[in-house]
Structure 1
């Protein structure tokens, strides 16, 4: 009897020790992500040098945060104690969506109630915007996923693009109207930065929108891995936006339709915002060719890059901070717009 008791005690002690070891090695609880901010590139370091798309976000939210490595993502993820996380996802549809997929499925994070702000620089048609403008997307449209041919091989003056069947579910997204309205209402009165070089550069364009001071607005973002440029392809982008029933094309970029697809397949798209700042026009001025505009002479660049990347964060942080401050309401879903 005594021998049995000793064996029982030993077994009990072993079980307790194993249980303690298991508890000690259990993974920490995942970060409850309230807002995820995705940028596409950074120029150098995350702080202390020339700012790219991520630096101002990093300096506002993650200066004291440790990097979380994620297999499959191009760069680490940073999260603060308030549930704001962010990362540099990479440029182009493949890089950015692969990074987003790796992050959103990683067990370190709980994205079940997260809001997303995909942010970066972009080009704008001079008829729709100007350097240092900041726009919230109402629609996301893919520039690709169709058929194209050389202009001389089609009817003169007619479009050279035709959508390909089978891509209807992910070549165009209309973003949550209430969420976009919230974003605009919260950020429309932000005082945007500008530069003397950008002011001078705008005067090369005759368009009223191109010559205006920077402001906050909305419209369709067209995403293509090809850096389409020039008045002809700008016109084609507008044609595609209208073909799909979207608003006017106002920003050219390279990532967000692919990122939206990743998020949609996991958590839906009703909590996504896309935010872009214009650092160039999508075509040259009337006195230069498209190639001259793509490869400008020294001193002929648009200017305003530093001001634009700062504007993006100034505008976007208004929404981030509002969601955090009112999380008990936003946690349930996007409140009805006022």
Structure 2
């Protein structure tokens, strides 16, 4: 009884002194970006600045202990924007910190990761916006040096749980060895795609110049569009035709031949790992996650150029960044349609995620 009396006394003291914690703010949508170059407004933009200026996200909220130090908020839409920092570790840390932040109620929030990426020229064009049905971990594997792999292997990668490139049956996606793949809510992904597939994307002279070099890759030479395709998530910025072949094989293997390698990025596996873990504690609903990747470059060189030459071309060459600004614009242009729909029609989407039927 003495313990309960002490608790009651402490509660009364907190109330009388005005330090009782305010009720958490309900959030409808969290916009997740991975980097900002300088300031949040008024200079060369990264992924975050376009959202801050155009949605807008006008209210600044301190975010101590995070990579970016501040979050941004739109109180009319109840939309929160964050910068995770690049890489899966930064992403997992940022999402976990946000989920544990007592200032916010995220139990019904939708999480829209909107970031730039590389794209497979066998899948689509630079400048495209791609909704991901699934994410495959490209950073967790056994790797044998290419100079030592068996002659009949396609590449040097094997699952952590196996000693050959494609052991049968396929190992578990989630095990002590790590998380290899996540499938996002199919109905929600189809809904987001259906809502945005007809939104036009700009086709700039720079984009046309980039894709014109990819002769023999018909999908790479189409105009930018909204597409559906899977993301390979890994920290290594790999490049080249052979690595691209591995990526296509790896995505196909871990999705039981249902997935299609489309984009390559860093943070997506950490994003879904953190949301899944926090969902177990009831802090978030992992079914309400969406990933939109917009293509700023191809992940392999065009015909007549080596991987090393492409890497050199993309280092310190302004022409190589012709897809950068259009991809930032596409991330906002497409992502904001979904964010605004969810936030402004909350009566439809609060209780349960929207869902489009299978085709």
The alignment's TM-score, normalised by the length of structure 1, stands at 0.90
Q: For 1:168, which of 163, 173, 187 is the aligned residue?
A: 173
In structure 1, stretches of 5+ residues that fail to align are 1-13
Alpha-carbon RMSD across the aligned residues, in angstroms, is 2.1
Tell me how far 1:72 sits from its aligned partner: 4.3
Q: Deviations over 1:272-291 (max 9, x none)?
A: 10011101100111111101
In structure 2, stretches of 5+ residues that fail to align are 1-8, 162-170, 280-284
Contact 1:135 1:277 in 2 (8 A): yes
Distance 1:307 1:300, change over 3 A: closer
Contact 1:74 1:99 in 2 (8 A): no
Distance 1:28 1:133, change over 3 A: same
Contact 2:116 2:293 in 1 (8 A): yes
Distance 1:73 1:25, change over 3 A: farther
| 3-state secondary structure, aligned to 1:152 | coil
Number of residues paired by the alignment? 324
Distance 1:21 1:155, change over 3 A: same
Tell me how far 1:19 sits from its aligned partner: 6.4
**Structure-1 residue corresponding to 2:41:** 47
Tell me how far 1:46 sits from its aligned partner: 1.0
Distance 1:119 1:75, change over 3 A: farther
Distance 1:77 1:299, change over 3 A: closer
Residue 286 of structure 2 is aligned to residue 287 of structure 1:
no
**Structure-2 residue corresponding to 1:219:** 229
Contact 2:295 2:323 in 1 (8 A): no
| 3-state secondary structure, aligned to 1:91 | coil
| 3-state secondary structure, aligned to 1:151 | coil
Aligned partners of 1:73 and 1:103: how far apart in 2?
A: 12
**Structure-1 residue corresponding to 2:199:** 190
Alignment of 1:1-338 (within 5 A): 18=13, 21-22=16-17, 24-81=18-75, 82-156=77-151, 158-165=154-161, 168-169=173-174, 170-206=179-215, 207-245=217-255, 246-267=258-279, 268-296=285-313, 298=317, 300-301=319-320, 303-337=322-356
Aligned partners of 1:100 and 1:76: how far apart in 2?
A: 14
Aligned partners of 2:235 and 2:57: how far apart in 1?
A: 32
| 3-state secondary structure, aligned to 2:291 | strand
Aligned partners of 1:250 and 1:101: how far apart in 2?
A: 27
Greater Rg over alpha carbons, structure: 1
Tell me how far 1:62 sits from its aligned partner: 4.2
Contact 2:142 2:158 in 1 (8 A): yes
Aligned partners of 2:221 and 2:213: how far apart in 1?
A: 9
Contact 1:34 1:324 in 2 (8 A): yes
| 3-state secondary structure, aligned to 1:192 | coil
Tell me how far 1:187 sits from its aligned partner: 0.8
